[in-house]
């Protein structure tokens, strides 16, 4: 199903002891002088935490920035939906936290599949992120004395999570958005909302710009510059049902992949344990309930599989608090992949609750008895409110019903230590890259990574690229052959979708794709299932190109066409996903292969054969991709079996 490249892939990690690597790299990077920065244009695609922070930081430094997003405003990017919090090794609670511990927890939480040096840099800039956000006016929770408050999150034994009620992502994004809008007001950033990136412009191997479709008018536009920064989020919607926003898509990343950027570890998908269960076949998306709820909620199922009693009538003796039973040290606070698999195991064994039996209870009875309803309301009021609106049940009185759902994708475009992809001049940030979370992301770390990349890493490394190539890159006009070619290819793709006059709506095909992915590439995978999935995906791609029905025209506001375009890319991407999952003959983090598990159903890694990042090179649709292996070396944290017992 694939070919393997001969030479290992080099992550271009700087020399020196791990704590000095980032400083060493910064000292080597080329600088662009203040007067020259205004001569250079940087394109930033995506305006979530990573994109908005990068765009505003670059503009503050003096570059001319164009910021693109498909939504009507940069403030809508899906970072906004993150609820629980953001990690930082500030050690304000004086409970023994340190940069090294955050680094250690993240490497271990990622099941030893992340690049150690990246994770250390992430941990070491984490404190500055909090400083920056507070200075912007982000209203983090406070103690009565006026200092910042912290809470505990999964996979950690210290309190290092900063939060703004259950809306941390919203507040951080609005902080980054406000900085971005300040630069828009100052004329340093040109905002391009309602634009979908359709292609990457590459000339002589160097990134020169993008082609995007103006979603309001349908016009195809080319924008060129001296560097392109991709911060377009994850691809969880390949599963159709996920906690991602409906618009989240792989298109921008996939288009870059088709132009030569390697795609790394696509199979690493995070299935979040606490989501509201599916209620019917009309379901359009799933809603997350923050992991922070596990601080006070206890997860359980009845001890007897055919217990028909209402949850409140089931006495303590007949309840199985299975996380506390299996993982006494971490209890309800085990990492997400562990909690999700444990829930699936209970439901598969027939202990699930609710109408569909595909749910477990998350119970706040004890917390309410201990702290009172008011305390619980002040911590989680908005989440309880949301739960009640969706299910019409009052979680202060009856336990929540929860089930795992696709939430985050650790895989993404391959980047080196400088966050530069395999196409020079194309930088990839946040969820869109693969770098920091390995095979599983810890809670409250996505916000940290997005902002670290945008505020404190990219602004340095973009300068290096521009310092080296900037003066030799002559502006490309719209009539330049590579620009023309990219414009034509994007236009013809839109036209060919419109030309298929079939009978199936994009949504119905997307649902079919989601079903294949959930059944065969979901929480538990097998070699045979994955092989079959790849075949089914190929067949479904044919269905799409022969039977899809998209009404309307290409030169107007056409949401159906947008969806079809994104789906077309998901259908190509999904095959790579299945191939990657099939090739990785081990279980690690969010990738669980049934063939590779211990006797008590825990994941079994194979460090001898798979301790690498799998970076795939595109060879054509339906062609065998080429696998480049970047070895993951662990010099600081010894490779060990994760245990949360």
Partner 1 sequence: MSGQGMNLTLRVWRQAGSEAKGEFRFYQLNNVSEHMSFLEMLDVLNERLIKLGEEPVAFDHDCREGICGMCSLMINGQAHGPDNETTTCQLHMRRFRDGDTITIEPWRAKAFPVIRDLVVDRTSLDRVISAGGFVSINAGNAPDANCLLVPKQDQEKAMDAAACIGCGACVAACKNASAMLFTSAKVSQMALLPQGKPERAQRVLKMVAQMDEEGFGSCTNTSECEAACPAGISVDNIARLNREYLKAVVFSDEGV
The verdict on 315 binding partner 1 (CB under 8 A) reads no
Write down the least CB distance from residue 169 to partner 1, Å.
8
Q: Which of 171, 207, 224, 332 binds partner 1 (CB under 8 A)?
A: 171
Write down the least CB distance from residue 553 to partner 1, Å.
10
- Considering only residues 556 to 585 of the shown chain, the ones binding partner 1 according to CB under 8 A are 556-557, 559-560
The verdict on 287 binding partner 1 (CB under 8 A) reads yes
Strand order in the sheet with 159-162: 86-87, 159-162, 151-152
Q: Which of 21, 25, 76, 437 binds partner 1 (CB under 8 A)?
A: 76
Binding mask 453-472 for partner 1 (x = CB under 8 A): --xx--x-------------
Q: In b/e form, how buried is each residue of 110-144, taking b as 16+ CB within 10 angstroms?
A: bbbbbbbbbbbbbbbbbbebbebbeebebebbeee
The verdict on 38 binding partner 1 (CB under 8 A) reads no
Write down the least CB distance from residue 203 to partner 1, Å.
31
The verdict on 285 binding partner 1 (CB under 8 A) reads yes
Q: Which of 5, 19, 29, 148 binds partner 1 (CB under 8 A)?
A: 148
Question: In sequence order, what are the residues at sequence separation of 6 or more whose Cβ sits closer than 8 angstroms to the Cβ of residue 313?
Answer: none
Q: Which of 8, 17, 73, 372 binds partner 1 (CB under 8 A)?
A: 73
Write down the least CB distance from residue 280 to partner 1, Å.
6
Determine the Cα–Cα distance for residues 402 and 24; give it in Å rounded to an integer: 46
Determine the Cα–Cα distance for residues 474 and 477; give it in Å rounded to an integer: 9
Determine the Cα–Cα distance for residues 434 and 25; give it in Å rounded to an integer: 20
Write down the least CB distance from residue 623 to partner 1, Å.
33
Determine the Cα–Cα distance for residues 85 and 168; give it in Å rounded to an integer: 5
CA dihedral (515, 84, 437, 358) positive or negative:
negative
The verdict on 124 binding partner 1 (CB under 8 A) reads no
Q: Which of 5, 19, 29, 134 binds partner 1 (CB under 8 A)?
A: 134
Write down the least CB distance from residue 55 to partner 1, Å.
11
# residues contacting partner 1 (CB under 8 A): 82
Instruction: Give the range of 9-17, 77-85, 439-447, 632-640 binding partner 1 by CB under 8 A.
Output: 77-85
Q: Are 454 and 49 in contact (CB under 8 A)?
A: yes
Q: How many residues does the chain have?
A: 645
Q: Are 346 and 299 in contact (CB under 8 A)?
A: no
**What is the 3-state composition of the chain as percent helix, strand, coil, each rounded to the nearest 5?**
40, 20, 40
Q: Are 563 and 507 in contact (CB under 8 A)?
A: yes
The verdict on 94 binding partner 1 (CB under 8 A) reads no
The verdict on 549 binding partner 1 (CB under 8 A) reads yes
- Considering only residues 437 to 456 of the shown chain, the ones binding partner 1 according to CB under 8 A are 455-456
Return the structure tokens found at 163: 């939060």
Write down the least CB distance from residue 136 to partner 1, Å.
5
Q: Which of 94, 96, 146, 620 binds partner 1 (CB under 8 A)?
A: 146
Write down the least CB distance from residue 289 to partner 1, Å.
10
Determine the Cα–Cα distance for residues 9 and 448; give it in Å rounded to an integer: 27
- 591 backbone dihedrals φ, ψ, rounded to 5°: -105, 105
- Considering only residues 384 to 423 of the shown chain, the ones binding partner 1 according to CB under 8 A are 385-386, 389-390, 392
With tokens 């390949």, the residue in question is 238
- Considering only residues 507 to 526 of the shown chain, the ones binding partner 1 according to CB under 8 A are 507-508
Q: Which of 65, 80, 99, 362 binds partner 1 (CB under 8 A)?
A: 80
Q: Which of 179, 249, 295, 409 binds partner 1 (CB under 8 A)?
A: 179
Instruction: Give the range of 244-252, 253-261, 523-531, 616-624 binding partner 1 by CB under 8 A.
Output: 244-252
Q: Which of 137, 328, 350, 477 binds partner 1 (CB under 8 A)?
A: 137
Q: Are 85 and 444 in contact (CB under 8 A)?
A: yes
With tokens 């911590």, the residue in question is 379
The verdict on 181 binding partner 1 (CB under 8 A) reads yes
User: Which residues share a beta bridge with 65?
Assistant: 42, 189
Q: Which of 52, 56, 154, 589 binds partner 1 (CB under 8 A)?
A: 56
Determine the Cα–Cα distance for residues 634 and 416; give it in Å rounded to an integer: 17
The verdict on 319 binding partner 1 (CB under 8 A) reads no
Strand order in the sheet with 626-631: 3-4, 626-631, 612-617, 263-264, 412-413
Determine the Cα–Cα distance for residues 590 and 271; give it in Å rounded to an integer: 7
Q: Which of 15, 27, 185, 204 binds partner 1 (CB under 8 A)?
A: 185
Where do the H-state alpha helices sit in 229-315?
Answer: 251-258
Determine the Cα–Cα distance for residues 307 and 322; give it in Å rounded to an integer: 16
| Closest CB to partner 1 among residues 245, 415 | 245
């Amino acid at each position: 199903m694939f070919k393997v490249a001969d030479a290992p892939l080099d992550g271009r990690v700087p020399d020196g002891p791990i704590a000095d690597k980032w400083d060493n790299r910064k000292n080597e990077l080329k600088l662009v002088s203040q007067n020259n920065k205004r001569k250079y244009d940087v394109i930033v695609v995506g305006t979530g935490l990573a994109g908005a922070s990068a765009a505003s930081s670059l503009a503050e430094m003096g570059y001319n920035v164009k910021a693109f997003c498909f939504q009507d405003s940069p403030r809508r990017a899906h970072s906004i939906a993150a609820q629980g919090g953001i990690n930082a090794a500030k050690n304000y609670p004086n409970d023994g936290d340190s940069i090294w511990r955050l680094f250690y927890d993240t490497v271990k939480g990622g099941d030893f599949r992340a690049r150690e040096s990246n994770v250390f840099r992430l941990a070491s800039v984490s404190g500055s992120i909090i400083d920056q956000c507070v200075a912007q006016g982000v209203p983090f929770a406070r103690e009565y004395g006026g200092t910042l408050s912290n809470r505990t999150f999964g996979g950690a034994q210290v309190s290092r999570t900063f939060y703004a009620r259950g809306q941390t992502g919203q507040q951080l994004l609005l902080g980054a958005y406000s900085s971005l809008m300040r630069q828009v007001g100052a004329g340093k950033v040109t905002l391009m909302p309602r634009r979908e990136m359709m292609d990457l412009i590459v000339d002589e191997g160097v990134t020169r710009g993008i082609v995007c479709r103006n979603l309001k008018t349908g016009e195809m536009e080319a924008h060129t510059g001296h560097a392109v920064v991709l911060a377009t989020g994850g691809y969880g919607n390949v599963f159709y049902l996920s906690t991602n926003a409906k618009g989240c898509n792989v298109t921008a990343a996939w288009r870059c992949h088709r132009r030569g950027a390697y795609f790394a570890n696509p199979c690493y998908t995070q299935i979040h344990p606490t989501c509201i269960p599916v209620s019917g076949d009309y379901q359009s998306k799933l809603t997350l309930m923050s992991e922070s709820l596990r601080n006070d909620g206890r997860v359980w199922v009845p001890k007897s599989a055919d217990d028909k009693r209402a949850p409140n009538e089931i006495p303590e003796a007949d309840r199985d608090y299975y996380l506390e039973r299996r993982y006494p040290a971490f209890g309800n606070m085990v990492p997400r992949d562990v909690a999700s698999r444990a829930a699936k195991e209970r439901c598969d064994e027939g202990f699930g609750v609710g109408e569909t039996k595909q749910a477990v209870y998350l119970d706040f009875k004890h917390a309410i008895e201990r702290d009172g309803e008011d305390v619980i309301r002040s911590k989680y009021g908005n989440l309880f409110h949301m739960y009640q609106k969706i299910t019409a049940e009052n979680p202060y009185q009856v336990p929540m019903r929860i089930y795992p759902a696709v939430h985050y994708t650790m895989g993404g475009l391959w980047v080196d230590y400088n966050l530069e992809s395999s196409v020079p001049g194309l930088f990839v940030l946040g969820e869109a890259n693969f770098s920091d979370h390995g095979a599983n992301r810890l809670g409250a770390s996505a916000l940290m990574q997005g902002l670290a990349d945008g505020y404190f890493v990219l602004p340095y490394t973009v300068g290096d690229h521009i310092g080296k190539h900037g003066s030799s890159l002559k502006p490309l006009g719209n009539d330049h052959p590579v620009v023309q070619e990219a414009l034509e290819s994007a236009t013809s793709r839109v036209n060919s979708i419109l030309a298929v006059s079939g009978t199936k709506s994009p949504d119905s095909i997307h649902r079919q794709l989601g079903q294949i992915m959930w059944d065969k590439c979901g929480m538990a995978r097998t070699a045979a299932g994955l092989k079959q999935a790849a075949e089914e995906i190929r067949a479904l791609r044919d269905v799409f190109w022969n039977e899809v029905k998209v009404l309307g025209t290409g030169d107007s506001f056409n949401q159906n066409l947008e969806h079809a375009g994104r789906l077309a890319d998901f259908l190509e991407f999904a095959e790579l996903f299945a191939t990657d999952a099939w090739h990785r003959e081990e279980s690690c983090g969010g990738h669980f292969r049934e063939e590779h598990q211990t006797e008590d159903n825990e994941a079994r890694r194979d460090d001898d054969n798979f301790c690498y990042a799998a970076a795939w090179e595109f060879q054509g649709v339906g062609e065998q991709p080429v696998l480049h292996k970047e070895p993951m070396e662990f010099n600081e944290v010894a490779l060990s079996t994760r245990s949360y017992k």
